[in-house]
Amino acid sequence: MVNEAKLSIGRVLALSGSVFAARWLAFCGLILIAVVLAIAAVAMLFFGCTMIIEAMPGGGGGLEFNDAQSAVMTATLCIQVVVGFSILQIGAAAVAFGTVQYFRSVTAPFGRCLGHGFAVMLPVVGAASVAALIVSLPIVGAVLLGGYVSEAFFLAGPIIAFLLAVPFAVAVPAAALERASVRSALARSLSLVRNNYFRTLGLLLLLGAISFGAGVLLGLASDILGDLILLVSIAVMLAIGVFAAVVIAVTYVELRHVNEGFGAEELANLFD
């Protein structure tokens, strides 16, 4: 029977805070490895794009590009964003695994979490890529319409994209913890979020506000910190990224609980 309880934002944040406080160092390492892999993939795409552009007829030399070259650059940039974001989800999958194990009072070793992240890499990256492509469509449309119709569309694109992201908020944990296929993970996320859309939206907005606020504070502190601002910024953004991954994992567990009465203990038992 479906549980009629609603997702509690306060409970999700409280549980996420306890997990983060206990496992922040190991989880930061997991996300950092995913970041390095994402950067490597993005760099390879950049060099590939450069080689293709150099092989094409020039647009006038220097930094002047013809329409074909500009199209290649735009397409590469879009692919870089999707690929980079998707590879980062390997770290998120590893964090989700460690989070579920923590709920049953088991401290999963760093290597086991990382191994699980790579074991479910294909469905996780696939689910994240499809979700990212769906969410990015309004942004691409807004850019096109903003350039040819009205600049007001530039503001509409990101808003629509954010609203579209909510149904896919827990697709990565679904793929990672249920070992679901790409299609099943996306459908699972849609099903779990359906009755708690606005509460899930609230959590995503909160995470966005935290990231934005941290960026503003770091910008204001740049004059004070001087040369240290880069290291501090990396550390702060890494911590926020880890906390966000934990929040998404906890949200998935709590959504399963309120929808199905299926908690973290039952999920953890799947890996024994």
pTM of the model: 0.86
Gap between the Cα atoms of 99 and 173, Å rounded: 10
In a domain, 16, yes or no: yes
Q: Output the pLDDT for position 266.
A: 65
Asked whether residue 209 is domain-assigned, the answer is: yes
- Tell me if 31 is assigned to some domain: yes
In a domain, 22, yes or no: yes
Structure confidence at residue 102 (pLDDT)? 92
Q: Is residue 187 part of a domain?
A: no
pLDDT at 69: 76
Number of domains the chain contains:
1
Please say whether the beta carbons of 233 and 2 come within 8 A. no
Q: Are 9 and 203 in contact (CB under 8 A)?
A: yes
Residue 5: which region, alpha, beta or left (left: phi > 0; alpha: psi -120 to 50)? Answer: beta
| 240 belongs to a structural domain | yes
Q: What domain range is 35 assigned to?
A: 9-58+65-120+198-269
| Backbone φ and ψ of 64, nearest 5° | -90, 125
Q: Does residue 156 form part of some domain?
A: no
Instruction: Using alpha carbons, list the distances in angstroms from residue 174 to 85, 123, 141, 184.
Output: 17, 10, 29, 8
Please tell me the predicted confidence (pLDDT) of residue 62: 53
| Per-block mean pLDDT, blocks of 10 residues, the chain (272 long) | 74 96 96 95 91 73 66 83 90 95 89 94 93 82 64 71 91 92 95 95 94 91 83 93 96 92 64 52
Q: Is residue 172 part of a domain?
A: no
